Structure 1
Amino acid sequence: MDWTEIAGFITGAACVWLLVRGSIWNFPVGMVNYVLFIILFVNAGLYADAGLQVVYFVLASLGWYWWLKGGKEHEGVEYSDPSPLQFAGCAIAIIVIAASLQWLLHRYTDSTVAGWDALTTAMSLTAQFMLSRKWISNWWLWIAVDLIYIPLYISKGLWLTAFLFLIFLGLSIAGLLEWRKAKREADQRNKAAEVEV
């Protein structure tokens, strides 16, 4: 265990806690976390996970913008879910990204967990994109990813990181419940506003 794993633990937990609460501050805290995990994962030989952190950084930048200025009249995106076509696009993206990454990892790295590394990377990229769009179903994908990551990190001796992802699992469940509640409350406010008009 080194300083990057400890700092990654702290910033990661803070980022997801802010995200569960729907706070825009999850993005800058997350960006610090991604840099720390790039260092950690490269040293552990989890190359796809390291590359994933770079993409997370870019998606966090986009998410920060979308949450602030996206949506109708540039007032920020609202809690929603993808359309069936968008959901199918996400599923296809997972399959294509995972297959491509697995091939690359087998061919060009010494990864001992290429399949799992590729799958979790593909799922995480898609979940991060969904999160950036404020799609509630992103939490279901994070729950599945966390259930895979925990034993993967244990197998690599990253005990603190595995514990962090156990915390993430609990926070992902809380996030799902909290975002569903926030959407119900927003829908009720919108209906009440329509009635008043």
Structure 2
Amino acid sequence: MGWATSWTEILGFATGALCVWLVGRQHIANWPIGIANNIFFIVLFAQAGLYADAGLQVVFIALAGYGWWCWMHGGGPGSAEVLPVRRTTTTEWAVLGVAGVTGVCALTVLLSSATDSSVPFWDALTTGLSLMATYGQCRKRLESWYLWIAADLVYIPLYIHKNLYLTALLYTGFLALCVAGLLRWRRSMSSPAPGRETLGATA
């Protein structure tokens, strides 16, 4: 198709798509696959000058460890139950909102003054939305999917602007997977809680 791409972008595409699909199915294997995806994207985004997105991947790796633990233990030490899908509380929204706005503003200033980024605000905005969404994913908050959808709607034109066409296509797929994941998680809230999940996926 005349696109310039690399193995790093291709592997990021494959692991990213698999990770989001697994999250939608509440499959715990999404965490190690996601970590692999983060490593590929660290290299890709640093080369593209998307420094906040590159740094974000490091934070994602740390959050993946937390999320993996939460999903394994149902959110409590020694728990044998799968962490259930829940709504985001008012307190969580307040904390996330303040942290998100503060982080986006601070990161925009940092990227504008300390890097050669050509899109400091948009890079910072997607970083803030992604971190908020990742917290929700770790705790299985239903509304985390809305945050991912909002982030994807910014990511897609941003990556096209940066000539990362395969990654833009990947995020278009992410957008569809996020809608599917939202619907699947919403259905699971009205279904009986599944048993402890390690290698298998919920129906």
The equivalent of 1:24 in structure 2 is 28
Match of 1:183 in 2: 189
Q: What stretches of structure 1 move > 3 A for 4+ residues in a row?
A: none
Contact preservation (8 Å) 2:75, 2:139: no
1:43 aligns with 2:47: yes
**Offset of residue 176 of structure 1:** 0.5
Question: Larger relative contact order (C-alpha < 8 A, sep ≥ 6)?
Answer: 2
Q: In structure 1, give the amino acid aligned to 2:39.
A: V
* Residues 1:108 and 2:88 aligned together: no
Q: Is the 8 A contact 2:42 2:58 kept in 1?
A: yes
Partner of 1:136 in structure 2?
142
Match of 1:55 among 49, 54, 59: 59
CA distance in 2 between partners of 1:42 and 1:16 (Å):
22
User: Are 2:14 and 1:10 aligned?
Assistant: yes
Work out the CA distance in 2 between the residues paired with 1:179 and 1:77.
12
Q: Distance in 2 between matches of 1:40 and 1:170?
A: 23
Question: What is the rounded CA distance, in whole Å, between the counterparts of 1:147 and 1:71 in structure 2?
Answer: 30
Q: How far, CA to CA, are the matches of 1:185 and 1:64 in structure 2? A: 23
Equivalent in the alignment of 1:193: none
Counterpart for residue 191 of structure 1: none
CA distance in 2 between partners of 1:3 and 1:169 (Å): 23
Whether the aligned pair in 1 keeps the contact of 2:43 and 2:54 (CA below 8 Å) is yes
Equivalent AA in structure 2 for residue 142 of structure 1: W
Q: In structure 2, what residue type is equivalent to 1:152? A: L
Greater per-residue helix proportion: 1
Does the residue aligned with 1:178 lie in a helix, a strand or coil? helix
Which residue is 2:196 aligned to? none
1:95 shift after superposition: 0.2
Q: Unaligned 5+ residue runs, structure 2? A: 194-203
How far the C-alpha of 1:81 sits from its partner, in A, is 1.4
In 1: Cα distance, 2:54 partner to 2:69 partner: 24
Higher deviation after alignment, 151-160 or 70-79: 70-79
